[in-house]
Amino acid sequence: MEHINFEELDKELEERMNPPKSEFQKLYKNNLEDEKYKEDIEEDEPENYLPVPVFWDQLDKEEFPEQSWRINKLIPKEGFVILASISGNKKSWIAMEMAKSISSGENFLNKEEFKTEGANVLYLNAENPKSEIQRRG
């Protein structure tokens, strides 16, 4: 039976959990200190834009405002929502009802617990043929 060296295992796990700064992270830090790099980003030209990574140690220190909702506890004002289920479970109907509630500013399903803040809506249906959209309408 093979002997397990727990000290080496602990050391390897520690290195994996706290990796040394990568060359990318070092380059990123150097670029942030470079005034020309900052100017390039501020110019907002596609050829000068570089995505800015967010590292956990930075993100963990940030404070965010309380989540705000378009439809209370269902549709956030920021981010994405995915409705997923097997075929035939009324996902499109729910999405259309949500879109109607948001566009009219009326509470979703006329329920106070789904208080809805009105906004413009663009509903795209790239899944169904026109005949199915017409049938459902």
Amino acid 75: pLDDT = 94
Domain locations along the chain: 6-59, 69-136
- Averages of pLDDT over runs of 10 residues in the chain (137 residues) are 68 65 56 54 53 83 92 92 88 90 95 95 83 79
104 neighbors 118 (Cβ within 8 angstroms): yes
Residue with tokens 């199915």: 132
Residue with tokens 């948001």: 102
Amino acid 1: pLDDT = 53
Number of Cβ within a 10 Å radius of residue 97: 13
pTM of the model: 0.54
Helix intervals (H) in the chain: 6-17, 23-33, 35-43, 56-59, 91-104, 130-136
Amino acid 109: pLDDT = 94
Amino acid 123: pLDDT = 83
